[in-house]
């Protein structure tokens, strides 16, 4: 019984994903965005952000996040003990420290993702608004594919944790 329920749920999730991909393939970006209620409620909740969310396909960004990032960061960016740190209410704050923008793109999860430069930039632009719009500097410039391409040539190997701690120290004392 339990087993069957699990399969039914899996089948549901699969068909939902297939439907999403169908929408993405079948329609161009703006049509897909306009017809999707998740995306619409997302933009509504962003109406009060100090910085404006760059033009992007939020639905595609979310699917890419689910496929490539959620395994470690979890669905709502909350992370887990001993896994990835929580991004909720904190991730955009790194943009307020010198070197913080670079840090966000050089962490291994971002720099070495299978996503291409454009899709990575889109996920990053989406996630900082999704998880921490209140800390986005008012003069924030969207991450660009070129910038991602440049930064991912020098991914952190072991130094991410140390640099992260230094940035947090800076933010706490400024
Ligand atoms: C294998 C697990 C893993 C995956 C997959 C992963 N990350 Fe991470 N991520 C981490 C860990 C751990 C950190 C903390 C820094 C470090 O030690 O690398 C981190 C840090 C970050 C940070 C910096 C914020 C902070 O608080 O340190 C961002 C932004 C980020 N990840 C985004 C992403 C995105 C976007 C993806 C998908 C494209 C992704 N990550 C995939 C584990 C992962």
> Does 25 have pLDDT greater than 60?
no
Element (H, E) at 58: helix 58-68
pLDDT for the residue numbered 77? 98
Domain containing 87 — which CATH number? Answer: 1.10.760.10
Ligand 1 centre and the CA of 109: distance in Å? 4
Ligand 1 centre and the CA of 110: distance in Å? 6
Looking at the domain assignment, is residue 2 inside a domain?
Answer: no
Q: What is the pTM (predicted TM-score) of this model?
A: 0.78
pLDDT for the residue numbered 124? 98
**Long-range CB contact pairs, 22-28, < 8 A, 24+:** 23/59, 24/57, 24/59, 24/60, 24/63
Looking at the domain assignment, is residue 49 inside a domain?
Answer: yes
Ligand 1 centre and the CA of 69: distance in Å? 7
Looking at the domain assignment, is residue 22 inside a domain?
Answer: no
- More reliable by pLDDT, 15 or 32: 15
- More reliable by pLDDT, 139 or 48: 139
Looking at the domain assignment, is residue 13 inside a domain?
Answer: no
Looking at the domain assignment, is residue 118 inside a domain?
Answer: yes
**pLDDT mean across residues, the chain:** 81
Residue ranges making up the domain that contains 112? 36-172
**Ligand 1 pocket, residues with Cβ under 6 angstroms:** 68-69, 71-73, 84-85, 87, 91, 104, 107-110, 113, 115, 123-124, 127, 160-161, 164
Mean pLDDT of 33-39: 36
Ligand 1 centre and the CA of 73: distance in Å? 7
How distant is the alpha carbon of residue 9 from its chain centre?
A: 25
Number of domains into which the chain is organized: 1
Gap between the Cα atoms of 84 and 66, Å rounded: 15
């Amino acid at each position: 019984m339990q087993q069957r329920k699990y399969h039914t749920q899996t089948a549901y999730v699969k068909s939902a994903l297939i439907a999403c991909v169908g929408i993405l393939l079948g329609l161009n970006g703006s049509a897909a965005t306009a017809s999707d209620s998740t995306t619409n409620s997302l933009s509504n909740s962003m109406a009060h952000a100090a910085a404006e969310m760059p033009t992007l396909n939020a639905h595609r960004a979310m699917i890419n996040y689910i496929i490539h990032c959620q395994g470690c960061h979890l669905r709502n960016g909350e992370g887990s003990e001993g896994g990835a740190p929580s991004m909720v209410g904190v991730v955009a704050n790194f943009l307020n420290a010198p070197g913080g923008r670079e840090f966000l793109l050089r962490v291994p999860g971002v720099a070495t993702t299978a996503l291409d430069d454009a899709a990575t930039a889109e996920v990053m632009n989406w996630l900082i608004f999704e998880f921490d719009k209140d800390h986005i500097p008012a003069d924030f410039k969207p991450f660009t594919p070129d910038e991602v391409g440049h930064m991912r040539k020098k991914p952190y190997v072991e130094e991410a944790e140390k640099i992260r701690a230094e940035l947090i120290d800076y933010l706490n004392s400024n």
